[in-house]
Structure 1
Amino acid sequence: MQSRNSRLNNSALRGAVDLAAVKAAGEAAQKAEQARAERARQSAAGGVPAEPAYPLVIDVTEETFETEVVQRSTEVPVVVDFWAEWCGPCKQLSPILERLAEEYAGRIVLAKIDVDANQLIAQQFGIQGIPAVMAVVAGQLVPLFQGAENEANVRKIIDQLIAVAEQRFGITGVPVDPAAAAEAGEGAAAAPRVPADPALEAAHDALDRGDLGGAIQAYQNVLADRPGHLEAKLGLAQAQLLRRVESLDLQTVRAAAAADPKDVAAQLQAADLDLVGGHVEDAFGRLVATVAKTFGEDRDTVRLRLLELFEVIGADDPRVIAARAALARVLF
C-alpha cells in the first residue's frame, strides 16, 4: 500500500510549475509580433527600417561557437557556412548566403566557419567536403546541403528551414530591436496591440483549475490552427508534464532510476519529477547524461522529452541555454 506522501497531488503540482512563465512568454511573443508589424509599416511607408537586434553575418571560431551558434539558435535559426579561402565554390556560394541573410533581416543568422582555422568544429559536424551548409535550431543540427547551389535553390531551402523552426520550435527570430524601431518610427502611430485570445485564455483557465485534460485539449485546439504559437506550446508542455507525474510514486521512480541509468522510462519519469520539484538543473542534467548513454530510437525519445522540458521552463532561461549547449556537445 502506498504511503500518502509518496504520491504527488494535483494542487502541489500546479504550485510547482508556474503559469506566469507561460504568460510572460506570450507577452514576449506579442512584443516581437508588434516589432515585426512596425518594421513592415515603416517599409511600406518608405521609412528607414530599424536595425536587427543582432549581427546577421558573423565569423565563428571554436571559442565563440557555443555562444554565437548554440545559444543564438534558441532565438533564431543559425545557418552555418563551412568554407575555406582556397575553395573556389565557397567564393561563389558565400556571397549568396550573406546577401540572403541581409534580405531576411533577422529571421536567420549566418555563421561562417573557416574549416582550416577551426578543424575541431568541422570534425564534430562530420564535414568531408566544402562548401557545406548546415543549420542549428534550438540547439539541434539540421543538415541543409553540400556543394554550390544557385540563389533560387538556397532561398527555397532557407524558407523551409524558417518554416520548420517556427512550426516545431516556435522560433521566429528577433527581426527588430524594439528600441531602435521606436526611434526610427518616432512621431508615427504605434502598431496596434494584439487582442486577447479567448481560446488561449480558456486553456490557461483550465490549467489554473487543475483540469489537465481540458487544458491539454484546449492548447491542442489553438495549435491546430496556429502550429507555431509559442504561448500555446508552453502551456501544452506544462499541462502534459503535470499529467505525466500526477500519479507517479516518488520512491518507486527514484529507485528504478538509480538502479539502472540506462532505463529510459525511469530516467524520463525521474526527470519529470525533478522538474516539478524545482530541481531544474538536475532534470536537464539527467536527460543530457541519458542521451549520452543511449542510441537510436531511445536517444531520440530522450532528446525530444528534453526539448519538451525546455519549453516548460522557457527558451530564455539561463538553465535552458546551458542545457542546450550541453546537449549539443553530446550530440555533435
Structure 2
Amino acid sequence: MTQQPFSRPGAIDLSGLGRPAPQAGAPAPHPTSPTGAHSYSVTVDEQSFQGLLEQSTTAPVLLAFYSRSRMPESGQLADDLATVVEEHEGRYLLGLVDIDATPQIAQAMQIPSIPLVVAVVDGRPMPLLQDPLPIDELRTALTQVAQQLTAQGITGRHQPRTGAVPDAEGEEETVDPRYAPAQDALAAGDIDAAVAEYQKLVDANPADVEAAGGLAIAKVMQRTQGVDLAAARAAAADNPDDVDAQTMVADLDMLGGHVEDAFARLVGLVARTSDKDRERARDHLLGLFAAVGNDDPRVLAGRRNLASALF
C-alpha cells in the first residue's frame, strides 16, 4: 500500500460509488459504535468514511479491515482493537471496516489482504498491522505508537463518540489539556517554551511517558535550532571522537527520521571513547532512546548494542 498523503477535501473519492436507495420511511445509514461500551470505535460505511479520515488531522485514526466470514481471526483482531483503543481514552479513533458489507471502501483503499490495520495521521495512511496479534501485544504496539506521536508533538485526543462520526466541520477535537501548552509552543515555533512546559510535566509526574518522550524530542529540536546540516556533518567527519560534533549529527539524524543511524553513530562513539567523554555519549544516547520510546524495536536493538560497546 502506498503512503501518499490524502488531499483534503476528497482524500479518497467515493462520490461515484453506488449506494442502495433507502427504503421509504427508513432512516439514513450512519456509523454506529460496535457496542455500547465503546466510545472511540465506529462502524464505517461509504457515507461516513471520508468524514472519519478528516478526523485524523487532529488525532490519529485507525482503520481495521476485517471479514468475520472469510477470516474469523480478523474479526477478533477488530474486537480486541476496540477494547485497546478504549483504554487510550481518545488517543485514537477506530474505524471498523467490514469488507463484506463495504467492499467499495476496500477497493478504494486497495486492501491487499485481511486483517489489515492502517493508521491515518494528518491524512496520511500508514500500514500498522497485517497479522492477528494477542491483545497484550496490541496494547504494547499502540502504546509505542502513542509515545512516538507524542515525541513528535502530536498529542490531540478525540472526544467520545455516541454512535456517529461527526462531519469535518462538526464536533471539535480536544487536545489533552496536560500537553496543550507544550503543543501550542511547538506550533508557534517556540521550542524553548515547549521544553519548559514538558519539563514541568515530567517534574510533576516522572512516570508520564508521553511527557518524557515529548521533552526528549523537544530538547533535540532545541539543540539543533539554526544548525547548518552540511557544516555539522563535515565537522563530525573531521572529528570522529568529538562528542559535541557526533551528538549534533545524531540529533539531526533523529529529526530527519534516520533513527538507526543516530543510534549507531553514538554506539560507535561510546565504543571509541572513555571516561567523561564516554559518559556524555552514553547519556545522550539514552536521551534519544527516550525520544523514540523504550518499547520500540530499534531502541531494544540499540540498548543491546550499547551494552556490547560498554562491556
Q: What TM-score does the superposition give when structure 1 sets the normalisation length?
A: 0.41
Q: What TM-score does the superposition give when structure 2 sets the normalisation length?
A: 0.44
